[in-house]
Amino acid sequence: MPGLDIPSQLVEVLRAAGRVAALTGSGISAESGVPTFRDAQTGLWARYDPQELATPEAFARNPRLVWEWYEWRCDLVGSAEPNPGHRALVELEHRAPHFTLITQNVDGLHQTAGSRAVIELHGNIRRTRCSQEGIIVEEYGDGSPPRCPRCGAFLRPDVVWFGEMLPAGTLELASEAARGCDLFLSIGTSSLVYPAAGLPYEALESGATVVEINPSETPLTPRVHFALRGRAGEVLPELLARSSG
Ligand code: BV8
C-alpha cells in the first residue's frame, strides 16, 4: 500500500533475520470484525467490563451471564474470516528460517489462516472444558452453562481468565522465543496484560530488534526500535512485500 512509511532499515533487518517472533493481540483480529478486548462492548454487553467478566469470580457468581457472554463472542468469532494481517504472518512463517507465533487471542483465526505452530497464551474460545476436571469436552447438552457429562460440574470456555495461570509450558516457550529471536514483532496489543506484555521487554533485553505495529501508542512504544503507526492488515502485507526478493 503506497504511502505507508516502512523504514528501509527495518526492511533490511527483516531480510536478514534468522529467528523471528511475533506476539499478537486482539488488534490483529479487529479487521476481521472481532471487537478488540478494550473496545466498548456492543449492544447487550455495553454495560459490562470484559476485565470483570473474564474472571473465575464472575463465573462463580453468575455462570449463566459469563457463559452467554462467551457464546456471544463465539458466534462473532465463528463468522469471522482471517484478514491480510493473519495471512501475512502465515507467509512470514514460510519465509523466515525460524518463526514463532505467540498470540493472546482466543479466536483461533491464526490457525484458520494457516499458521501452523501457534502458542495460545490465553487459550481458545472454541474449546470448552470441565470447570472441575479441566478436561476438554467436545459433546455436551443444553444449559447455560451446560454441565460436564462425566462429573456434572459446569463447563467453561477453555480460556485463561484474569488471576489464572497460563497453560503449563506456554509462557516458557514464548519466553524462550522472545529471548532467542533477532526480530520481535508486537502486533495489535495494548501491551497492558501480563505476563504476555513482558515478552517484548525480554526480547529487548536479549538484543533483538523490536517492532510495534499498532494505530495507537502503548506503554511499549517508547522502548521499540520501530513503531509502525498503522493497521496490521495494511502494515504487515506491505512489510512482507517490501522485504521479499
Ligand atoms: C496471571 C482471555 C499469574 C480471556 C485474557 C504482573 C505479572 C503477572 C500478572 C499480573 C501482573 N500485573 C497484573 C497482573 C494480573 C493480570 C493483568 O495483567 N492485569 C492487567 C489488566 C494489569 N494478569 C493475569 O491475571 C494473567 N494471569 O498473571 O496469573 C498468577 C495467577 C495466580 C496466582 C499467581 C500468579 C492472565 C491474563 C489473561 C487474561 N485473559 N484473555 C478472554 O479473552 O475472555 S486477556 C485479554 O486482554 C486478551 O487476551 C489480551 O491478552 C488482553 C489485552 O488485550 P489486547 O489483545 O491487547 O487487546 P486490547 O483491546 O487491550 O488492545 C487492542 C490493541 O489493538 C490496541 O492497542 C489498539 O490500538 C490495537 N488495534 C486496534 N485495531 C488495530 C490494532 N492494531 C493493529 N491493527 C488494527 N487494525
- The predicted-structure confidence for 56-102, as pLDDT tens digits, reads as follows 999 999 999 999 999 999 998 999 999 999 999 999 999 999 999 99
Residue (of 30, 33, 24) closest to 90 by Cα position: 24
Is residue 128 in contact with ligand 1, taking CB distance under 6 Å?
Answer: no
pLDDT at 1 over 60: no
Name the band, by pLDDT with cuts 50, 70 and 90, for residue 35. confident
pLDDT at 108 over 80: yes
Q: In sequence order, what E strands does 55-203 have?
A: 98-103, 118-120, 123-130, 155-159, 183-187
Distance from the alpha carbon of residue 136 to the mean position of ligand 1, in angstroms: 23
* Mean of all residue pLDDT scores within the chain: 94
| Verdict on whether the full-model pTM lies above 0.85 | yes
- Residue whose CA is at the smallest distance from ligand 1 atom 20: 193
Is residue 36 in contact with ligand 1, taking CB distance under 6 Å?
Answer: yes
Distance from the alpha carbon of residue 31 to the mean position of ligand 1, in angstroms: 19
Is residue 46 in contact with ligand 1, taking CB distance under 6 Å?
Answer: no
Over range 173-184, report the average pLDDT.
Answer: 98
Q: Which three cell numbers stand for residue 191?
A: 501491551
Q: Is 122 a catalytic residue?
A: yes
